[in-house]
Structure 1
Amino acid sequence: MTPRPAAPATTAPRRGKLELDPATVRQARSLARKAGRPIVTMAKRHTTVSVERATLRLAGLSGADPDGTPWVNRLADAVRADVGLEHGLALPVWDALLRGEADDLDTLAQKASAGSVRFRLPEGRDATRARSASRKAVGGGIRRIDQRRRERERMIARVGDAPATPWIYLIVATGDIHEDIPQAQAAAREGADVIAVIRSTGQSLLDFVPEGATREGFAGTYATQENFRLMRAALDETSRELGRYVRLTNYASGLCMPEIAALAGLERLDMMLNDSMYGILFRDINPVRTFVDQRFSRQVHARAGIIINTGEDNYLTTADAVEAAHTVTTSQLLNEYFAKEAGLEDWQLGLGHAFEIDPDVPDSFRLELAHAMLARDLFPKAPLKWMPPTRHMTGDVFRGYLLDGFFNLVGALTGQGILLVGMMTEAVVTPWLSDRDLALQNVRYVMNAAGNLHEDFVPRHDGFIERRARQVLGETIDLLDRIVSDTDAAGDPPLLAAIADGTFGLMKRPADGGRGLEGVARKSAAYYNPATEILEDKS
């Protein structure tokens, strides 16, 4: 394996300010490992149709039939009908190529779609030849991801980086990629460091990735390889104009998490929303399916040098932000374990948390400050992704603008790494360009006036903020201890039982329910996936 470039420094390690007991912090991490390890074991024993399709994409298969169904789906369905999913797609597919059924993957997919190819699981020498051929083909895609990572590092060195954290993260998504591009470029010129193109509503429930540039979406723009390419090229142009690298974000979640992760690596995206819990809780995607998909997608992100953003902030849109604060910390610790097990480094962990306490609660600002400081002290080397108020935005734009200013101030006080720009028109309309400009002015004022305040701010020893942080950490340990102590009658990992009980976000999601379960298979003794083999190669 070729040496990888040095990781960019998103935020400098900081000394903790809450005087948390180190033994208590170690206990919390130990319990998170105990809760997470059975999930990793489960993920290693299973594959999904999206993992296998992502492998075909890494080997170069792209495009769609006249009806818009991607060729990776057509080929995967044909192989699965003949030999099942439990062996993986690589051996049957490359065996067919070596037997002369087609000259390349594109032709094979088309013939398979027409029913003119039959697949088998090769054995002996045929299996060895198919394994070697598939690894060579998929290795080409992973080398392309390596190349795009080096390209990012070269560009940052040449044009410059954002001057300091927090990186200002702003959402742009009209549904039309050709409208998104000028809006994204305008946002970057006004100070945004990260442009997030949120996906069209419902795309996470599609079991395929649309093809081509799209011009119609619902409250977002479809995540496609061509849309990734177009936006990346536009932001590269703006990066050269501004003299600082502008990062691009999209969403690797839902039923096609592994495929979108692969496409993001191939098209040099910089951040990806990537969290199985979001799909489980808020899109009712089968927990087993999405934990398997998450592990593979994070291995791709680790290789590509992509920063992940996790979705703990979403819990507080359904659960009370004070009473459920410990569920956010619990999920952050679990996400840290899952991410590092998949190969991600601290600088890639944009762990999510949010400013969602009801502003009418007494001492709401101090409580928000305690929660943000707890996250910052628990994960000192991680950038963290600090999310603005949404749940208690009422439509009063003046009050909303003030709340966003308080949110920005907490970000400054606690040294957050990624600051999502809040919109005063949240809950009223999809923000206009003028709304975004005002929101960026809010961020710029707070950061210019108080951006380094975290250097001076230390809460009073054993005061309100410190006591609240300790309370949340203690409740986190209690919850993790209950999770790992639970014995599920069905033999499922305890974390799956906790998810089924509604522990997170008040959503109950059983392990045998949800969308996409039919796309999961337990690996056979003959299973082979060259992408997994290469991504897990530690040599």
Structure 2
Amino acid sequence: MPARSTPVLDLDPATIRRARSLARKVGRPVVRMAKQHTTVSVERATLRMAGLGGADPDGTPWANRLLDTVRGDVGLEHGVCLPVWDALLRGEAGDLAELAGKASVGSVRFRLPEGRDATRAAAAADKAVGVGLRRIDARRRERERLVKRWGDPEQTPWVYLIVATGDIYEDMPQAQQAARAGADVIAVIRSTGQSLLDFVPEGPTREGYAGTYATQENFRLMRAALDESSKELGRYVRLTNYASGLCMPEIATLAGLERLDMMLNDSMYGILFRDINPVRTFVDQRFSRQVHARAGIIINTGEDNYLTTADAVDAAHTVTVSQLLNECFAKEAGLADWQLGLGHAFEIDPDVPDSFRLELAHALLARQLFPKAPLKWMPPTRHMSGDVFRGYLLDGFFNLAGMLTGQGILLVGMMTEAVVTPWLSDRDLALQNVRYVRNAAGGLAEDFHPAPDGLIARRARRVLAESIDLLERILDHAEPDFGAGLLAAIADGTFGLMRRPADGGRGLDGVVRLAPGYVNPARDLLDGAP
């Protein structure tokens, strides 16, 4: 993403370093916990990486069928790989798909191999998973070649537009038309509730609910459609989907295999807003982010969601803390600065005095804390009342704030937010709004220099100070099972006013503590990635 010249706030570098140091201390026990556990989705993602795809006649993925049988026979404390590749080496089946089919009807039983048998099984698994990782590497190189051939958008922020009808065959022409109208990034939002499914649907889908199902075939179809548009327009059009929920590692793997470019992947969104177990989420997000790092995918985080349930002024520091934690977890997983689409949003009540100046303060704070990250700037939703004229004006101010503060990715706001699912004409008007502001004020950041002791600078310093105070309190708030103050803070409702205890939520039964001798070549190879 091209560099942006941005205004500089008078923030103390030592204070910024302290905030980052505290975030790392808060994150350390969570990372340690993630390394000590696996989940059913991590293990299924490993099978998918090794080439297992498809589903049985009832639509249950073979990865689920095979994993469930292995778990029933020998558990998952040692991982799925040893028993699966041991069975293949013993001649139980010719490949993973055949083995899954036999497992689903009870015609094969699994064991935990020992000695030389275990060594041979681990080596065979390593070879198979390595093939999948090399496919992901090849798709990354393919993206790099296409970006070099067609080029990136000439201006920033990149214009990010949601297209999702439920029917992938309707989504494709709409996405192509959106790209012609100026969209740089197409996001296919998922069908409502998919994050709570503990399996990934198969094949192309033609029906969804407020979105389109995330499947490998849908990924492939949309990527091919946008490649056609990229060639037509002479700029690479990026594709986004959602690696969140109970199948986060699997969807991340499929995204890498099908050359998606961005993925929604927040460390706490599923915990707070989908009531997914915190331990499950942190284990899954570490693996998924390692895959994203390997695949060259930009992650988008979900701090904007906090401000739909908490006040955007009072809770501004929780957004900053979450950004710092997301950065910490992302870098530990191998993501680079250019892959950190850290989220924040234009959600202050417009009736608050100086609301626009406060929005600028929050946006500038994020920009200065993360100068190399392509920050994702989210439009107003909470205070969109149904007055489309007021909404269009708010979106214009949102667009202007994005230009003034050098945001990297701008999600197009719709004036009909809270009224209807946007019509195509709404989308066209919204894109006109973005184009006008970007063309008229795209370079205004060069001339915008807030007064060192003005309201904007004072507000930014206050939010940063409150963020440090919260991080210190989290460190003092140790959780008994894992020693992670962050888990205790989540349980107390610190983020988004949602209380989510570590021993509750969906998916906890899919978390397994590792035993000595656990084998997962995907984790090993990703841990050793450059």
TM-score, normalisation: structure 1: 0.97
Q: Which residue of 2 aligns with 1:424?
A: 415
Cα separation, 1, equivalents of 2:88 and 2:195: 32
2:377 corresponds to: 386
Offset of 1:16 from its aligned partner? 6.0
SS at match of 1:24: helix
Deviation, 1:14, is 5.3
Q: Distance in 2 between matches of 1:308 and 1:486?
A: 29
Q: Cα deviation per residue 1:284-341 (whole Å; 9 max; x = unaligned)?
A: 0000001000000000000000000000000000000000000000000000000000
Deviation at 1:157, TM superposition (A): 1.1
Distance 2:51 2:313 in 1: 48
How far does the alpha carbon of each residue in 1:396-419 deviate from its partner, in whole angstroms, 9 at most, with x for none?
Answer: 000000000000000000000000
Q: State how far apart, in whole Å, the 1-side matches of 2:70 and 2:292 are.
A: 27
Q: Distance in 1 between matches of 2:330 and 2:474?
A: 19
- Residue equivalent to 1:344: 335
| Aligned twin of 2:42 | 51
Mapping 1:90-239, distance limit 5 Å: 90-239=81-230
| Structure 1 unaligned residues grouped into runs of 5+ | 1-9
RMSD of Structure 2 on Structure 1 (CA)? 0.9
1:356-384 deviation line (CA, Å, top 9, x unaligned): 00000000000000000000000000000
Corresponding residue for residue 470 of structure 1: 461
Secondary structure of 2:505's match?
coil
Match of 1:277 in 2: 268
Helix, strand or coil at the partner of 2:208: coil
Deviation at 1:538, TM superposition (A): 4.3
Aligned residue for 1:3? Answer: none
**Residue in 2 that maps onto 1:6:** none
- Residue by residue, what CA displacement relative to the aligned partner does 1:429-484 show, whole Å, maximum 9, x if unpaired? 11011110000000000000001101110101111000000000000000000001
Which residue of the partner structure matches residue 491 of structure 2? Answer: 500
Question: Alignment partner for residue 53 of structure 2, among 37, 62, 73?
Answer: 62
Work out whether 1:358 is the aligned partner of 2:349: yes
Q: Which residue of 2 aligns with 1:265?
A: 256
Which residue identity lines up with residue 327 of structure 2 in the other structure?
A: E
Partner Cα separation in structure 1 for residue 154 and residue 207 of structure 2: 35
How far apart, in 1, do the equivalents of 2:257 and 2:467 lie?
38
Q: Is residue 317 of structure 2 the alignment partner of residue 326 of structure 1?
A: yes
Aligned counterpart for 2:522 among listed residues 506, 531, 536 = 531
Using the alignment, how far apart are the partners of 1:84 and 1:14 within structure 2?
54
1:414 aligns with 2:420: no
Contact 2:136 2:256 in 1 (8 A): yes
Is the Cα contact below 8 Å between 1:354 and 1:386 reproduced in 2? yes
Percent of residue pairs bearing the same amino acid type: 82
- Aligned 8 A contact 1:91 1:131 in 2: yes
Number of the residue aligned with 1:19: 10
**Equivalent AA in structure 2 for residue 176 of structure 1:** D
SS of residue matched to 1:276: coil
Q: Once the 2 structures are TM-superposed, how far is the Cα of residue 489 of structure 1 from its aligned partner?
A: 3.8
**Distance in 2 separating the partners of 1:271 and 1:337:** 19
Tell me which residue corresponds to 1:80. 71
- Contact 2:7/2:446 (<8 A) preserved: no
Counterpart of 2:519 in 1: which secondary structure? coil
Are the counterparts in 1 of residues 240 and 260 from structure 2 also a CA contact under 8 Å? Answer: yes
**Structure 1 letter corresponding to 2:239:** L
Once the two structures are TM-superposed, the CA of residue 492 in structure 1 deviates from its matched residue by 3.8
Q: SS of the counterpart of 1:169?
A: strand
Give the aligned partner of residue 241 of structure 1.
232
Look up the equivalent residue of 2:68 and give its one-letter code.
D
Q: Is contact 1:347-1:383 (8 Å) kept?
A: yes
TM-score by length of 2: 0.99
**CA deviation map 1:74-103 (0-9, x unaligned):** 000000000101110011000000000000
Report the alpha carbon displacement of residue 11 of structure 1 after superposing the two structures with TM.
3.9
Partner of 2:294: 303
CA separation of 1:381/1:472 partners in 2, compared to 1, >3 Å: closer, same or farther? same
Determine if contact 2:7/2:450 at 8 Å carries over to the other structure. Answer: no
Aligned to 1:485: 476
Q: Shift in Å at residue 487 of structure 1?
A: 2.8
Q: Which residue of 1 aligns with 2:306?
A: 315
| Structure 2 CA distance for aligned equivalents of residues 229 and 359 of structure 1 | 41
1:448 to 418, 439, 442: 439
Report if aligned partners of 1:197, 1:249 keep a CA contact under 8 Å in 2. Answer: yes
2:505 is the alignment partner of 1:514: yes
Verify the 8 A CA contact 1:11 1:383 in the aligned structure 2: no
SS at match of 1:359: coil
Residue 29 of structure 2 is matched in structure 1 by 38
Determine the C-alpha separation between the residues in 1 that align with 2:203 and 2:133: 22
Does the CA-based 8 Å contact 1:16-1:380 persist in structure 2? no
| Number of positions where the alignment pairs a residue of Structure 1 with one of Structure 2 | 530
What amino acid is aligned across from residue 499 of structure 1 in structure 2?
A: I
The answer to whether 1:401 aligns with 2:392 is yes
- SS for the counterpart of 2:287 is helix
Give the secondary-structure state (helix, strand or coil) at the position aligned to 1:95. Answer: helix
State whether residues 11 and 347 of structure 1, in contact with CA within 8 Å, keep that contact through their aligned partners in structure 2: no
